[in-house]
């Protein structure tokens, strides 16, 4: 038997036995131990976050990890993190840079005392910097003095966009790019009517509402890859060079942009057996967690799930991955 199959078989056998002493008291749940409800804080309507969160909630309920599981419509990463820390949500989908900010010394997670931890790195986010084809804007530097929609209040896009704008030198006097908080659908409408010059949105590829809008107006995606070194120097190594393929949005050509990993987060005090069962679903039923519209890179594999950009794994998740890797 191939080695990877024997490890997978070992994982399944161990899970069936409750993972023995490795995960402590994590034997198969009795009805009393099964949570009545689990909630997954996702994102705004039409966005990739909410689509992923809905798939995860459906799977958690179908596999009886909880009696009921629901996805929550939210503003995005920053709001999701706050909801998990406050106990309003069980899980949060969030950008790695937002999660790292919350778990840094003095961050929201350390101030709350609850501890934010990761269950895994679940997929790649692509920063979309979109202008109208007829705008004449060719590069990010051309945006000096213009107006940008930079995501809804509470979204991770607002954090990432602000860091990119600063790194590009477009936050100072005379060259400042005016930042307006607009959600995905609001930003698309504003780009169409000309009230903003550019929208910056972080999501999967393709993001369905952007793809739909590109059928009505010709759009151009700006190359952001030259800004990666400066953004890393200012804000940390969360930012990678990734490609948005040609024709993802109408006739727009392929473009290099900035990628940020998306993490699945929870509080450190979430029960070990719930964490272990959720990790098992991430590994064993990954195909059920990839939105049908997605053509972007997914990270739902044992090798990449553990790469959480410095955000610590929940101890039970770490133990389950260690068992999987042998």
The per-residue pLDDT for 294 is 72
Reported CATH class of domain 3-123+262-325: alpha beta
The per-residue pLDDT for 31 is 44
pTM value is: 0.85
* Residues 6 or more apart in contact with residue 233 via CB below 8 angstroms: 167
Tell me which of 3.40.50.1000, 3.30.300.30, 3.40.50.300, 3.40.190.10 is the CATH number of domain 125-260: 3.40.190.10
In a 13 Å sphere around the CA of 37, the CA atoms on its Cβ side amount to 8
Omega into 312 within 30° of 0, i.e. cis? Answer: no
The per-residue pLDDT for 30 is 46
Residues β-bridged to residue 263: 94, 121
Low-confidence stretches of the chain (pLDDT < 50) are 1-32, 113
The per-residue pLDDT for 317 is 96
In this structure, what token pair is assigned to residue 213? 């809008």
pLDDT tens readout for residues 303-320: 789 999 889 999 999 999
Q: Which of 159, 125, 123, 143 has its CA nearest to residue 222?
A: 143
In the chain, domain spans? 3-123+262-325, 125-260
The per-residue pLDDT for 14 is 38
pLDDT tens readout for residues 10-42: 434 433 333 333 333 333 344 448 999 999 999
User: Do the domains 125-260 and 3-123+262-325 match in fold?
Assistant: yes
């Amino acid at each position: 038997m191939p080695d990877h199959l024997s490890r997978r078989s070992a994982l399944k056998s161990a899970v069936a036995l409750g993972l023995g002493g490795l995960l402590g008291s994590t034997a198969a749940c009795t009805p009393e131990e099964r949570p009545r409800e689990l909630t997954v804080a996702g994102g705004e309507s039409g966005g990739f976050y909410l689509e992923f969160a809905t798939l995860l909630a459906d799977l958690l309920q179908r596999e009886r990890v909880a009696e009921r599981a629901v996805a929550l419509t939210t503003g995005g990463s920053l709001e999701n993190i706050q909801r998990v820390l406050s106990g309003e949500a069980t899980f949060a989908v969030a950008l790695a840079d937002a999660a790292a900010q919350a778990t840094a010394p003095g961050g929201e997670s350390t101030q709350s005392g609850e501890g934010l931890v990761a269950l895994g790195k679940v997929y790649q986010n692509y920063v979309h910097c979109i202008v109208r084809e007829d705008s004449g804007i060719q590069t990010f530097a051309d945006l000096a003095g213009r107006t940008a929609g930079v995501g809804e209040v509470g979204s991770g896009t607002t954090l990432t966009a602000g860091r990119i704008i600063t790194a590009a030198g477009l936050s100072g006097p005379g060259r400042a790019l005016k930042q307006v908080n607009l959600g995905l659908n609001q930003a698309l409408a504003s780009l169409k009517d000309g009230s903003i010059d550019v929208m910056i949105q972080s999501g999967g590829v393709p993001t369905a509402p952007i793809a739909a809008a590109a059928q009505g107006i010709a759009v151009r995606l700006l190359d952001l890859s030259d800004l990666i070194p400066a953004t890393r120097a200012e804000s940390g190594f969360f930012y990678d060079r990734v490609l948005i393929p040609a024709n993802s949005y109408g006739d727009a050509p392929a473009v290099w942009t900035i990628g940020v990993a998306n993490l699945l987060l929870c509080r450190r005090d979430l029960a070990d057996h719930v964490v272990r069962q959720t990790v098992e679903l991430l590994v064993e039923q990954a195909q059920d967690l990839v939105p049908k519209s997605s053509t972007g890179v997914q990270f739902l594999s044992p090798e990449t799930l553990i790469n959480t950009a410095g955000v610590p794994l929940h101890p039970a998740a770490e133990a389950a991955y260690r068992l999987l890797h042998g």
